[in-house]
Amino acid sequence: MSEQQEVTKELEPINPALYRKAIEVGKEIYGASNSKAEAAREIFKLLINEPREIILKAFIEGARGVS
């Protein structure tokens, strides 16, 4: 049996500045309303043209709240 190596490539946002902005907006909304759903909706609106992996990553980072 041969061993397969999974090649994973870290995806980068198409627009890194917009990605960072979306995370900040998500943190602000989550901090103000404590609603991860509301934060995720706003993040999605900003990152609609990004690959889904990037959007998911932004959801995780942005809905974490202010550290």
* Residue 5 located in a structural domain: no
Domain that holds residue 35: 16-62
Q: What's the predicted TM-score (pTM) here?
A: 0.78
- Taking CA 12 as the corner, what is the angle to CA 10 and CA 17, rounded to the nearest 5 degrees? 150
Question: Domain count of the chain?
Answer: 1
Please count the helices (runs of H) and the strands (runs of E) in the chain.
3, 0
What pLDDT score does 10 carry? Answer: 79
Alpha carbons 3 and 36: distance in angstroms, whole number: 40
Task: State mean pLDDT over 59-65.
Answer: 82
Q: Is residue 3 part of a domain?
A: no
pLDDT at position 4, please? 58
Q: Is residue 38 assigned to a domain? A: yes
**Domain contains 7:** no
Per-residue pLDDT at 1 = 47
Residue 25 placed within a domain: yes
8 domain residue, yes or no? no
**What confidence tens digit (pLDDT) does each residue in 2-59 have?**
555 555 577 899 999 999 999 999 999 999 998 999 999 999 999 999 999 999 999 9
Q: What is the pLDDT of residue 23?
A: 97
